[in-house]
Homo-oligomer: A and B are copies of this chain.
Amino acid sequence: MKLDKNTKILIIGLGVIGGSYAKALTDKGYNVSCITKEDADIRYAKEHGMISYGTSEVEEELIAASELIIFALYPTTFIEWIEKYQHLFTPGTLITDVTGVKSQVVYKVQEILRGDVEYIPAHPMAGRERSGVEFADPGVFEGANYIVTPTEKNTRAAVRLCKQLGEVLGFLRISELTPEKHDEMIAFLSQLTHCIAVVLMNCNDSEGLEKYTGDSFRDLTRIAKINDRMWSELFLMNKEALLSEMDKFIEEFSEFRTYLANEDGKRMREKMRASSARRSLFDKPVK
């Protein structure tokens, strides 16, 4: 199959990411339908020019007619959906996803999926701290990273098409990783940061602190507003990698604490200079 403006694209799950995909694709002239649970979300998406057609039913004809199906569901819901409805796909359909953990999803889905349909996994590294289609905004893809995580079961044609989808959506950097490498990386860059934000937000309940806060605390806790169902699923599905990153963090934190307890300004300053230098690598590329 080819991805062009005639390709019949179906998005399943119209939350903040599914909605942002829908809007980005529709804005560029692509043909986007959707299936999602709530009729209100479909009305919202139509009113805001995000989709050409939407339904809250699992419509057999719509699914059969779709050439590219994008799953934007909670990880466990995605797997359940495949188990329950994959008989509705037309042979040759390509499916992809937006799931934030890979190993535990990708191998499972590829194992249960019928042989005449290909699943090419992807993870758009962008999001918002709010959930729901009304917070959809394709602007979050600008300057952001998009990762395709193929396995040996995938064809190069599917990898190429999935990367093309990332380009159409407006991502800046499009990369390829194994599911295992992806999960290791995401445990550090995304899951550990969400743990830290949640913990920081919960570790001091003094009243009135908001009157005195500066931007640093706000920045570190922006993501402490968190979709608890989704993130607990993501953490549990990537448990070993995340525990390992948490342990490395605790170790480094305890080392820094020792320097302070010993009034070892020299070593604290070395750590600060190292962090300053390394942080420069992570500056968002200027367009």
Known: A212-B185, A215-B126. A200 touches B195 (CB 8 A): no
Mark the stretch among A78-86, A162-170, A258-266 that contacts chain B.
A258-266
A74 → B minimal CB distance (Å): 12
Q: Are B281 and A210 in contact (CB under 8 A)?
A: yes
Please, how many angstroms separate the alpha-carbon atoms of A253 and B261 in the complex?
20
Judge if A145 is at the interface, Cβ distance under 8 Å. yes
Write the A187-230 contact mask toward B (1 if CB under 8 angstroms, else 0). Answer: 01110111111111111111001111111111111111110110
Q: Which residue of chain B has its CB nearest to the CB of A280? A: B225
Q: Which residues of B contact A195 (CB under 8 A)?
A: 253, 256
Q: Which residues of B contact A27 (CB under 8 A)?
A: none
Judge if A116 is at the interface, Cβ distance under 8 Å. no
Mark the stretch among A42-50, A55-63, A243-251 that contacts chain B.
A243-251
Mark the stretch among A32-40, A89-97, A107-115, A270-278 that contacts chain B.
A270-278
Q: Interface range on chain A: under 10, 10 to 19, 20 to 34, or 35 or more?
A: 35 or more
Judge if A175 is at the interface, Cβ distance under 8 Å. yes
Q: Are B275 and A212 in contact (CB under 8 A)?
A: no
Q: Which residues of B contact A224 (CB under 8 A)?
A: 275-276, 278-279
Known: A253-B246, A282-B221. A202 touches B271 (CB 8 A): yes
Please, how many angstroms separate the alpha-carbon atoms of A280 and B218 in the complex?
10
Please, how many angstroms separate the alpha-carbon atoms of A146 and B214 in the complex?
9
Q: Known A-B contacts: A185-B206, A249-B253. Give 16 more (CB < 8 A).
A: A125-B214, A144-B214, A145-B212, A189-B214, A189-B217, A190-B214, A190-B216, A194-B216, A195-B256, A197-B216, A203-B253, A219-B219, A228-B273, A233-B265, A243-B260, A250-B253
